[in-house]
Amino acid sequence: MSGPPNLRVCALYPDLMNIYADRGNLLVLARRCEWRGIGFALAGSSLGDTVTPAAHDLYYLGGGQDRDQRLCAEDLLTHKAEALHEAAAQGAVVLGVCGGYQLLGSSYELAPGDVLEGVGLVDARTVREPGPRLIGNVAIEVDLGGEHGTGGRGGEPARQVLAGFENHGGRTHLGAGAQPLGRVLSGHGNDGRGGLEGVRRGNVIGTYLHGPLLPKNAWFADWLIAAALGLDPGELAPLDDALEDAAHRSALAAAGL
């Protein structure tokens, strides 16, 4: 890579899918790039807009209310689905959080007979089932490579742990060949029963963790930046993350770890 790298981020529906402090995630990406001398360009794409697959390295889709989620689901299929599939095939990172996660899958059944068609980037479907919303602090163990997380004992590798907050009425079920993002250590996860949380297909990631996600998990923000730029996370310049590490520990403690 010649010259300083430049991270190009596209926020999908920033005016509609942003109810879980999603701007905080974008701000973390911007600051961690700035502190390393990495360029950062942020563009928004909302209803009626098209996207150019090669124009962005990372696509971000946050959470929204059912009404707005319906509008975005229809627009994704009409204006953006083909481009997002092409971008993902070219190695771009696509991150969906909460409602955004649900729209990355094949479908979201809001009620019997009322089904939103998803963009189909991952093999997952979401349904509404009897029972309370799945709400609370959550922590999951993930395997993305490297040794960030809670630390290991007895020579075992450190666990990579993501911590956050979940609040969802939908239950997400992964297809037979789909890979979860992580294993639930504390909290509900995808459906409150299976012990799995999120989904990952290459650089396409969906998760219910918000609150927001990246300020509580700076190491994961770095993983996203590196993946989007085609780098190993170890190639990123180290930062003084004393405050970020404290935020991560606090989120873990809130989840009972």
Task: Clarify whether 10 is annotated catalytic.
Answer: no
Q: What are phi and psi of 113, to 5 degrees?
A: 85, -5
Burial 127-138 (b: 16+ CB within 10 A, else e): beeeeeebeebb
Q: How many CB atoms lie within 10 A of CB 114?
A: 11
Q: What percentage of residues in the chain have a pLDDT greater than 70?
A: 93
Query: Does residue 248 carry a catalytic annotation?
Result: no
- CA–CA separation, 114 and 202 (whole Å): 30
The model's pLDDT over 135-154, given as tens digits with 9 standing for 90+, comes to 999 999 998 875 444 433 33
CA 98, CA 152: separation in Å to the nearest integer?
Answer: 30
pLDDT of residue 159: 66
C-alpha span between 242 and 59 (Å, rounded): 28
| pTM of structure | 0.92
Highest mean pLDDT among 1-10, 156-165, 212-221: 212-221
Residues 6 or more apart whose CB falls under 8 angstroms from that of 152 comprise: 158, 159
Amino acid, res. 76? L
Task: Locate the domains of the chain by residue range.
Answer: 6-254
Residue 189 has pLDDT above 50, yes or no: yes
Report the relative pairing of strands 160-168 and 170-174 from DSSP bridges: unpaired
Indicate which residue of 10, 98, 148, 188 is catalytic: 98
**From 56, 148, 188, 210, the catalytic residue:** 210
Nearest residue to 25 (alpha-carbon basis) of 38, 37, 42: 42
Structure-model confidence comparison of residues 19 and 69, the more confident one: 69
- What is the homologous superfamily of the domain 6-254 according to CATH? Class I glutamine amidotransferase (GATase) domain (3.40.50.880)
Helices (H), 56-212: 66-75, 81-89, 99-104
- List pLDDT tens digits, range 37-64: 999 999 999 999 999 999 999 999 998 8
